[in-house]
Amino acid sequence: MQDALKRVKTYIATLGVPDDRQVGFGEYDDIDAVTGKKGPVGWRTYYMERRAEVTGEYITDAQVATDQNKGPQLEYYVALTFSPTGADKFQKVTKDNVKKRFAIILDDKVDSAPVIQTEIGGGHASITLGSNQDKKEQLDAAKKLEMVLRSGALPAPIEKSNEQRIGASLGTDAIRLGLRGALLGAGLVLIFMVAYYSVAGIIADMAVLFNLLLQLSALAAFGASMTLPGIAGLALTMGMAVDANVLINERIREELREGRSARAAVENGYSKAFAAILDGHVTTFIGGLLLLQYGTGPIKGFAVTLIIGIVASLFTAVVCTRMVFDWWVLGRRAKKLLIG
């Protein structure tokens, strides 16, 4: 199409068009012989006056409308409204050019050239699109013409005054900083657990790290990508895992203070802490389900990480650490628990 336009412009330049006239070009639509689809297959020329009598600045409104007086089938057309000055200019143009075409030009291309049927006054006009067209094609053509007329009505061309680009690097930096913050916070908590609970703190830290490994494995199995909401979900569930181990250790401490044996302290500590641990995890799990159901985008990503983390946290805090404590007091027959 562009090559054809260049060739026809080169040819027309040899014809000696008068200075007060110009040749306009508009796309010619037809059925493509190869694809069988309707589209632009060539160019149509229009011999026009060089000076535009009515410009887009005089158009105040343009919108698609329907004519219900054509029988059962609706007819689409474009309704135009002119400013007072534009109404006078348009009336004069239509009076002097009845049965001639009125070219509508945008970006040096004739988009449409309806025939002026009669003098049009009052500041209102309608552009029909031909009743023989398919209704869908007619509606599409009307919408396209409406857009052209509205674009031409802009008082000035749009010019780029400032440009800002947001690339993937910004998201990468945010994720990197978020991950660094989450790891730093988790590291400080793990160090505190060892310092405060001694060997029991090491067991709790192992459970938290195993919890993190389970979460990352589950996310990888689902093909999830690491995002800021996902990192927030990981940090939250790691905190809940630490909290569960704190409850267990404090319960065991209470039992030891009351003079119970290591084995009895572990047994009673887990039994008494289980209800509180289960309650906190179940309520958070329900919240995660609601976020997954009604949330969108990042909220769903956070909910998925939260749900996986809750399940992993409950398993590692109640089952895994219990296995280690049982091995400690039964397998090694320890008489004293190093629990801070």
Per DSSP bridges, beta strands 109-112 and 38-49 are: unpaired
Is there a contact between 248 and 256 (Cβ–Cβ < 8 Å)? no
- Listed by start position, the domains of the chain span 1-51, 52-153, 172-331
| Residue 133 Ramachandran class (φ > 0 left, ψ -120 to 50 alpha, else beta) | beta
Q: Tens of pLDDT along 98-130?
A: 999 998 888 788 888 889 999 998 888 888 876
**225 burial class (0-12, 13-18, 19+ CB within 10 angstroms)?**
exposed
Q: Say how far apart CA 126 and CA 62 lie, in whole Å.
A: 9
Is there a contact between 262 and 336 (Cβ–Cβ < 8 Å)? yes
Mean pLDDT of the chain: 82
Residue type, 217: S
Is there a contact between 288 and 218 (Cβ–Cβ < 8 Å)? no
Q: Which residue has the tokens 């749009």?
A: 158
- Residue 216 in tokens: 């990352």
Q: Which residue has the tokens 């709790």?
A: 204
Query: Measuring CA to CA, how many Å separate 153 from each of 159, 197, 229, 261?
Result: 16, 75, 45, 89
Q: How confident is the model at residue 154 (pLDDT cuts 50, 70, 90)?
A: low
Best CA proximity match to 220, nearest among 208, 228, 209, 212: 212
Q: Is-above-0.75 flag for pTM?
A: no
- pLDDT higher than threshold 70 for residue 156: no
Best CA proximity match to 238, nearest among 276, 219, 212, 205: 212
Side-chain-facing half-sphere of 235: CA atoms under 13 Å: 19
3-class SS of residue 101: strand
Neighbours of 183 (CB within 10 A): 13
Q: Which of 2-16, 49-63, 224-238, 252-266 has the lowest mean pLDDT?
A: 224-238
What is the C-alpha R_g of the chain?
38
- pLDDT higher than threshold 80 for residue 340: no
Q: For residue 28, give every residue at least 6 positions away whose Cβ sits within 8 Å of its Cβ, in sequence order, or none.
A: 40, 41, 42, 43, 44
Q: Which of 81-85, 137-141, 284-288 has the lowest mean pLDDT?
A: 137-141
Q: Say how far apart CA 50 and CA 54 lie, in whole Å.
A: 12
Q: Which of 32-41, 90-99, 198-207 has the lowest mean pLDDT?
A: 32-41
CATH 1.20.1640.10 is right for the domain spanning 172-331: yes
Regarding predicted confidence, which is higher, 227 or 299? 299
Is there a contact between 154 and 165 (Cβ–Cβ < 8 Å)? no
Give the CATH class of 52-153: alpha beta
